Amino acid sequence: MITKDKKILIVGLGLMGGSYACALTDAGYEVGAVTRSQSSIDFALKKGIIRHGTSCVSKEYVEQFDILVFSLYPHTFIKWLEQYQGFIKGGAMLTDVTGVKCSVVDKVQDMLRPDLEFIGAHPMCGKETSGVEFASADIFNGANYIVTPTSKNTEKAIEDCEEIGRILGCRNISRLSTAEHDEMIGFLSQLTHCIAVSLMNCKDSKNLVRFTGDSFRDLTRIAHINETMWSELFIMNKTELLRQMDLFAGQFEKMRNAIENEDVDTLKQMMITSTQRRDFFNK
């Protein structure tokens, strides 16, 4: 139970951090923020989605908070902790929003002061835009929220971390190991982005726009992508992502060979399987 007297700090006030700020302020918590750009703080203050905030990290400011939500690129997150974890109040709970878990969670657990507790979380949502200007509590509506505890975590902190997901308005709150999370995200999210980007790189397809129907549009919607964030996420989940990519490449090759050899039985069987499986994913 996260009582309303708990003060929450958002570290990194972009699209996701800003959306946390919206939802947590709406829920009645005192929310502060530290972020690199003063204009993001000014914007968030003007919109009333934070109570206060600063672009200069100081012990005086940071030590007042009970819960810290890190909404930074993975490498920046680790660096921030290395530099500033001495500022954090003992007993505070730390969580994050990062889309890969094994490499981040282990590193953080290894370096963290023993009187602080970190639980990785991943709200599975986003937008094709970035920046606090686009922040909105709506992005959590119906989203999945995954908590990735390790043996270092207490049940109390895990439950608090899950409660944050409920306060945000997420639909499914799940617990996964970091390895299960990274396999799942490698397949469902990262592999699909690799496919969309590769497809869009095939040809200068501008002249095809007038013939394009929903199939191609659906498969490439996520090809509009933030290259800095996603290239970092791909490489941080490299082992698992390569495994998922090879799995897909194998099936694609199987289909290619079936077409080349006019092996109608294999083709049909793959289509029957895909049709049956896809039905489970209808909303």
184 sits near a copy of itself (criterion: CB under 8 A): yes
Spatial strand order of the sheet with 7-11 comes to 52-54, 30-34, 7-11, 67-70, 93-96, 117-124, 144-148, 172-175
* Alpha-carbon distances, residue 159 vs 23, 99, 119, 137, 164 (angstroms): 18, 20, 10, 21, 9
Nearest Cα to Cα of residue 199 among 227, 182, 218, 226: 218
For a copy of itself, the binding residues in 144-173 under the rule CB under 8 A are: 144, 146, 172
> Between 27 and 219, whose beta carbon lies closer to a copy of itself?
219
Distance in Å, CB of 282 to a copy of itself, minimum? 9
- Residue 78 sits in the site that holds a copy of itself (CB under 8 A): no
**Nearer residue to a copy of itself within complex by CB, 58 or 273:** 273
Does position 187 interact with a copy of itself (CB under 8 A)? The reply is yes
| 244 in contact with a copy of itself (CB under 8 A) | yes
Stretch that binds a copy of itself, among 50-58, 88-96, 162-170, 250-258 (CB under 8 A): 250-258
Are 11 and 76 spatial neighbours (Cβ–Cβ below 8 Å)? no
Cα–Cα nearest to 51, from 32, 24, 70: 32
Q: Which is nearer to a copy of itself, 59 or 224 (CB)?
A: 224
Q: What gap in Å lies between CA 164 and CA 89, rounded to an integer?
A: 19
- Residues facing residue 205 across a β-bridge: none
Is residue 175 a contact point for a copy of itself (CB under 8 A)? no
Binding segment for a copy of itself (CB under 8 A), chosen from 16-24, 102-110, 151-159, 263-271, is 263-271
**Phi, psi for 96 (deg, rounded to 5):** -145, -175
Would you call 150 helix, strand, or coil by DSSP? coil
Per rule CB under 8 A, is residue 58 in the interface with a copy of itself?
Answer: no
Which window, 6-14, 60-68, 160-168, 194-202, contacts a copy of itself (CB under 8 A)? 194-202
Q: How far is the CB of 215 from a copy of itself (least distance, A)?
A: 5
210 binds a copy of itself (CB under 8 A): yes
In the complex, least distance from residue 233 CB atom to a copy of itself, rounded to whole angstroms: 10
Token pair belonging to 107 = 């590193």
The token duo for 259 is 């077409």
Q: Report the candidate in 129, 34, 151 with the shortest Cα–Cα distance to residue 88.
A: 34
Residues 124, 127, 138, 152: which binds a copy of itself (CB under 8 A)?
124
Residue nearer to a copy of itself on the CB measure, 30 or 183: 183
188 binds a copy of itself (CB under 8 A): yes
Shortest Cβ distance from residue 149 to a copy of itself (Å)? 17
